Amino acid sequence: MLLFLILLLPCTNHAFGLNPAIKAVLASKGLKYGTHIGTDWMHEKILSMKVPDVTGGVYIGFGTVKYVLDGISVSSCDVPEPSVNFSEGSGLKIVINGLSIAVRVMVIFGLIGASFLFNLDLTLLVDIGSDDKGHMSILSKYCSARINSATINFHGGASWIFQPFVDCFKSRIKALIEEKICPLVDQHVADLEQYLTELQVSFQIDPIVVLDVPLTNAPLISSSSLGLDLKGEFYSIKSPKEPPFEAKAFDLPKDDGFMLSLGLSEFSFNSASYAYFDTGHLHITVTDEMIPPTSPLRLNTSYFGPFIPQLPKLFPNMLMLLEVYAREIPMFSFLPGEVTLDFPGAVKALAILPNRTLTPLFKLNADSLFSGKVYISEGKLKGLMELKNFTLTLASSEIGTFQVGYENAANDVQWLTLWVSSFKSRETKCWNQSLFCRLRLWKKV
């Protein structure tokens, strides 16, 4: 059950005091799903548990017989479904009742074998917090393993002679098993804590940007959920710097009917936009060779003659290139039921002279406004994006003024479907300044 939490914990550097750009809320349903992982782990660890040899003596009426319990091993175990609940303000309470462990002893007095069957209850309290670097911390606060019942059977040789001394062997093995369980659990929790402290600082998304996701606050634990606030900011790999805007506080609507709720602020998207813009990656040079031969549009001065009459006169039949770039930071906005993207772009046209040098012709401002929606269809998370407005204006010209007059081209652009991911069943909505989705099943199709 603790391993399940790691899926939510790619934590990095210290970021306390900041507004988060990503929120995650694990509800009780999600916690119960994660208990399957913990159950499998416990089954594996108990089977591999090592129990030391036991030596002692038994008084049999006319003297004391020395004995050795050699080759003690766990032959099987049955781990029932744990009861796992959030402990408000602290962490988790894990209770396993009726844990069954079978122990086999290879040699007793050099002659007789034995098998033990124990039934025990396990209670574990785990504190969940954070350290000063923004990592989640996990600490085993309390552990109790108590054997409720035990049976022992001797077999082979003169095993019937030693049946009267069952209680002696039973108490010794019982004490050894009880002593072994909690240290195993505590070590597992300590291993998870060490794993969390060694997680990488950031995640490289592509050759240009990295994503930082430290905790911005200590985990928020209620009686029904665990909430994580993560920084969720993108940075340029070569020149990391803060954008000229800050993350705003946002709320993730709560619904305990879902396993997991995830919320992303518009700040996260805009920080990525800033990182690409600031490093000059929102820029492309378009040449005539890049245009398909079947396209009626050609990048030469003669083609633009009907729109700019003076162009082919000043530069007759010359190839052109276009530099297309964002002149300001493209900004996302999350509104109820809608995602918008304001993209202030520019197009700079240059002529390629016979000596292969470039001469500037004109510059157009190209302002675009996109509107998008995210929705669920046929069990898949999908999106639609529509160009709501496209406006061209003349910003500067080295060949004299000319008429542009092109705006609101939304009706000329078709809807574009974006396949984002594939899950079984969930809900996705836009909200003020955030986009959130909920997963009923933590499993991809």
SS3 5: helix
Q: Quote the pLDDT of residue 415.
A: 33
State the average pLDDT over residues 2-21.
Answer: 50
Q: Where are the beta strands (DSSP E) in 22-135?
A: 22-27, 54-59, 64-70, 73-78, 83-87, 91-108, 112-130
Domain boundaries, the chain: 2-7+28-197
- End-to-end, the C-alpha distance of the chain in Å comes to 22
pLDDT, mean of residues 264-284: 94
- CA-CA distance, 426 to 437, in Å (whole number)? 7
At residue 418, the pLDDT reads 33
> 3-state DSSP call for residue 443?
coil
Both structure tokens of 88: 């408000």
So what's the pLDDT on residue 5? 41
d(CA 410, CA 387): 5
Decide which of 314 and 335 is more confident. Answer: 314
- Please tell me the predicted confidence (pLDDT) of residue 263: 87
What's the pLDDT score for residue 344? 97
**CA torsion sign, 21 to 27 to 30 to 36?**
positive
| Residue 105 pLDDT level (bands cut at 50, 70, 90) | confident
pLDDT at position 4: 41
Tokens 């911005």 belong to which residue?
216
Residues 322-362: pLDDT tens digits?
999 999 999 999 888 888 999 999 999 999 999 999 999 99
pLDDT class for 109, splitting at 50, 70, 90? low
Residues in the chain: 445
304 against 200, higher pLDDT: 304
- Distance, in Å, from the CA atom of 171 to the CA atom of 169, rounded to the nearest integer, reads 6
Residue 355's pLDDT is what? 93
Q: Is 334 exposed, middle or buried (0-12, 13-18, 19+ CB in 10 A)?
A: buried
What pLDDT shows up at residue 34?
73
- Give the span between the Cα atoms of 243 and 229, in whole angstroms: 20
The DSSP call for residue 410 is G
Q: What pLDDT was estimated at residue 243? A: 94
Q: Report helix angle 28-47 to 166-197, nearest 10.
A: 120
**3-state class of 160 per DSSP?**
helix
- What is the enclosing helix (H) or strand (E) of 325? strand 320-326
112 or 24, greater pLDDT:
24
Q: According to the model, what pLDDT value does residue 282 have?
A: 95
The pLDDT assigned to 65 comes to 63
Q: Which of 131-140, 180-189, 340-349 is the most confident on average?
A: 340-349
> Who's near 385: CB < 8 A, 6+ residues apart?
370, 371, 372, 415, 416, 418
Q: Which two tokens stand for residue 331?
A: 């900004």
Q: Three-state DSSP class for 83?
A: strand
If DSSP codes are grouped into helix, strand and coil, which group holds residue 183?
A: helix
Averaged pLDDT score across all residues of the chain: 80
Give me the pLDDT at residue 352, please.
96
In the prediction, which pLDDT does 322 show? 96
Structure tokens at 385: 């994006």
What CATH class does 2-7+28-197 carry?
A: alpha beta
The DSSP symbol for 139 reads E
- 99 vs 323 pLDDT, higher one: 323
Cα–Cα distance, 217 to 206 (Å, whole number): 28
Residue 408 has pLDDT above 70, yes or no: no
